[in-house]
Amino acid sequence: MIKVTSGDFDVQATIDAAARRSIGAFVTFVGVVRDDGIERMYLEADCFAAEEELSCIRTEAVDRFGVETVDIIHRVGDLRVGDPIVLIIVGASHRRAAFQACEYIIDRIKESVPIWKKEYTPDGTRWVPGEHEDKKTSG
């Protein structure tokens, strides 16, 4: 499943849906809203383009690491500290490929998927700079 949604996700249900007899390992990554002195966070996306990009990343991961299943769910909208943001579940016959693919996927999401975070703090708001940001655009 590839999805950008305002709803929450169910980790176990997603694993159950991906399960097949040839899979020996599922690696799960859940990104959550960290308390960096914020009150809440708003996530914005170009949803259609984001799902297209996530699908491309899934294909890349399957081709590179030979994993069997990749599910990615990314949330948008208002979230609070501790709320889950993103779920990545990779299923593979062996653990090593699953771990490698999972790390590759989250790195690629941070690099190219059109999703942005705005943090609300007691002092105001700020857009979270991307990891591939240069200084001038982060103001």
Partner 1 sequence: MKIWIKTFARFREVFGDRFTVEVPLDATVLQVAKTVECMHDGGRGMLMESDHTIRRSVILLRNGRRIPGEGREQVRLSEGDELTIYPPVAGG
Q: Which residues bind partner 1 (CB under 8 A)?
A: 31, 43-46, 49-50, 74, 85-86, 106, 109-118, 127-134, 136-139
> Edge-to-edge strands of the sheet including 77-79?
77-79, 40-45, 115-121, 124-127
For residue 36, which of 126, 104, 111 has the smallest C-alpha distance? 126
Least CB distance to partner 1 at residue 21 (A) = 31
**Phi, psi dihedral angles at 106 (to 5 degrees):** -70, -35
* Nearer to partner 1 (CB atom), residue 34 or residue 94: 34
Structure tokens, 102: 């999972």
* Nearer to partner 1 (CB atom), residue 23 or residue 57: 57
Least CB distance to partner 1 at residue 122 (A) = 20
Least CB distance to partner 1 at residue 73 (A) = 12
